[in-house]
Structure formats: structure tokens, C-alpha cells
Amino acid sequence: MHFLHFNLTLSLILCCWLGCGRGQEAGAVLPVVLWHGMGDTCCFPFSLGSIKKLIEEQTNGTYVLSLKIGGNVVLDYESGFFIHPDKQVEYACKQLAKDARLANGYNAIGFSQGGQFLRAVAQRCPKPPMRTLISLGGQHQGVFGLPKCPTLSTSTCEYLSRLLNYAAYEDWVQEQLVQATYWHDPLHDNSYRLKSTFLADINNELYLKVNYIENLNKLKKFVMVKFLNDTIVQPRDSQWFEFYTPGQDREMQPLNQSKVYSNLGLDKMQANGKLKFLSLEGDHLAISKEWFIQNLVPLLLA
């Protein structure tokens, strides 16, 4: 660590001295936007703050914006549970639109539910343009089951689980609990399509919004990272946009046989080589610095 740090410092100093670095390379590396997950720092060997720093180091100081929903840290934390994703996405879109440094485009990294929220940003707000979207443990087909709630007490978590199991599609729950908006009950596919106020919309389940297809296809790459030993996301395959075959909750349906594949233009993206599926061993969001540098940093530099 010390050696690495020393080395980095040294090369930065050398770089300034030789007149290379920032000035010349400005514009070469796109800015990066981060969106955190529910409960924020759960299960995470290093916080979003250090990810920001890591990206800055690895890109010689590109601009990194870590979205803070609601304007302060407390609201930001609560937003992950209690502010409807539509409002959060709208808020994020405004933040991105008024940030002059993003005007020429940016790459985005979503952590957990931040993955599907950033996808909604790509689909709903094509300006400024998102280039590469990296989803870390995102639930693109929602969840069916809430085995653990990061950073919540056990009793609160049990309450939320019961609420989701018995009342996810009630209007008031959809209004007030973020996780209900991407609750995907394969045993009640119609209720899901009609009542999910977020996921069914961004996945074109109820209405086919052509602009969603067009805007998503504007991405250069859509990278989905799945955690093979995830104990929070159920089913794990949702991280790769896959889900149960409708009508039961055991068999998985391959992505290219699912409705969303064509309904959202994922077929076209795949044909154009824009979909990238990565996986690693470990629990939800358990990414090491080494894995991040080896697998994700090159995508930010591409």
C-alpha cells in the first residue's frame, strides 16, 4: 500500500514537472457519475468516498460526481428507502443537466439499486449523454424476496419483508417504499405489470415507450456485474437482467427468451456488442480494489 501510494505520488510529481498529465489529457477521460445503493455503505469493504478517490487516481484526476439525492446526507440515506425512484431519477437528471462538466458526456456506475436508477436516467434523460453504464449488483428485473436489509435493524427489516410479501402492490406501499417499486412477483405477473410504479415502466412491461429503447441504445456499453454469492439480491440473476420464467419461482428464463429482451431493445444492443456481462465471487458489492482496477477502470478509459 505504502509503496503503491509512494509510487503514485512520485509519478504525479514527475508528471507535473514534465508538463504532462491533466492539461494535455483533459477531455481524454470522461467524467464519472456514481449512484449509491440502499443503506449506502453496507457490505462494502470500502466506501463510495474511496471509490471516488480511486477513480480519480486511476484516471489522473477525472471529475467524479457522487450523486447525493435530496441535498444532504440524511435525506440521501433515507431516499434509498422512502423517496419514490421517479422523484430520485428526476432529481438526478436535474443535477446532471446543470453540471457543465458533464455536457460532453459521462460514464456512470450504479451500486445495487443505483444500477437500475441510473439505467432509468439513461432511458429518460439522454442529455447530457451517458456513454458507458456499469451496474454493480443492480436489480434490472427487480427482486422477489428481501433476505437482508443492509444497515437496518432486524425488526425493521422483518417488517419491510412482510410488507413486501403481502402488500407490495398496494398503492400506498408503492408510494412510500422504494423496494416495492421494483418488487417483481413472478406468481402474479399481471399485478406486477399493472401495479409496479417503477420497474414495470422502465422495463417497458405495460407500455412500449420507444424513446426508452432509443435512449438505452445510445449507450456505448452497458456493463452488468453479478455477485455470484450475493445474499441480498434474490434472484441473483436479476443482476444480469434475467428473471424467473413467469408463473413460478424456480426456473430461470434465459435473457434472450424474455419479453424485456426485445421490448427494451436489449437484443439490438447485444447484436451491436454493447452488452457486457461480468461476474465475480463474493457477496453483494464485495469488490476488491484490485478487481475494480483490473476490470472496471479500463472500461472508464475506453
Could you list the active site residues?
112, 230, 284
The Cα 164–Cα 157 span in angstroms is 11
Dist CA 41 CA 43 (whole Å)? 7
The closest alpha carbon to 242, from 221, 257, 223, 227, belongs to 257
Considering the complex, what minimum distance in angstroms separates the CB of residue 282 from ligand NAG? 7
CB of 15 to ligand NAG, least distance (A): 5
Is residue 11 at the binding interface for ligand NAG, with CB under 6 A as the rule? yes
3-state secondary structure of 191: helix
Q: Is 251 in the site for ligand NAG (CB under 6 A)?
A: no
Contact present, 33 and 51 (Cβ < 8 Å): no
Number of residues counted as binding ligand NAG (CB under 6 A)? 14
Tell me which long-range contacts 270-273 makes (C-beta under 8 A, separation of at least 24): 272/217
Site for ligand NAG in 211-230 (CB under 6 A): 228-229
Subset of residues 88 to 127 that bind ligand NAG, contact rule: CB under 6 A:
none
Q: SS3 letters for 87-111?
A: HHHHHHHHHHHCCHHHCCCEEEEEE
Write each residue from 24 to 53 as x if it is in contact with ligand NAG (CB under 6 A), else as -, in one continuous string. -x---x------------------------
- Report the DSSP beta bridge partners of residue 110: 35, 135
Which of 15, 152, 278, 280 binds ligand NAG (CB under 6 A)? It is: 15
Among 31, 59, 122, 132, contact with ligand NAG (rule: CB under 6 A): 59
Q: Which of 42, 29, 60 is nearest to 284 (CA)?
A: 42
Determine if 231 is a binding residue for ligand NAG (CB under 6 A).
Answer: no
Q: Which part of the chain contacts ligand NAG (CB under 6 A), choosing from 21-29, 34-42, 124-132, 140-148? A: 21-29
At its nearest, how many Å lie between ligand NAG and the CB of residue 140? Answer: 15
60 lies in the binding site for ligand NAG (CB under 6 A) = yes
Q: What is the dihedral of CA 141, 199, 276, 51, to 10 degrees?
A: -110
Please give the residue ranges that form the binding site for ligand NAG (CB under 6 A).
Answer: 11, 15, 20-21, 25, 29, 59-60, 228-229, 254, 256, 281, 301
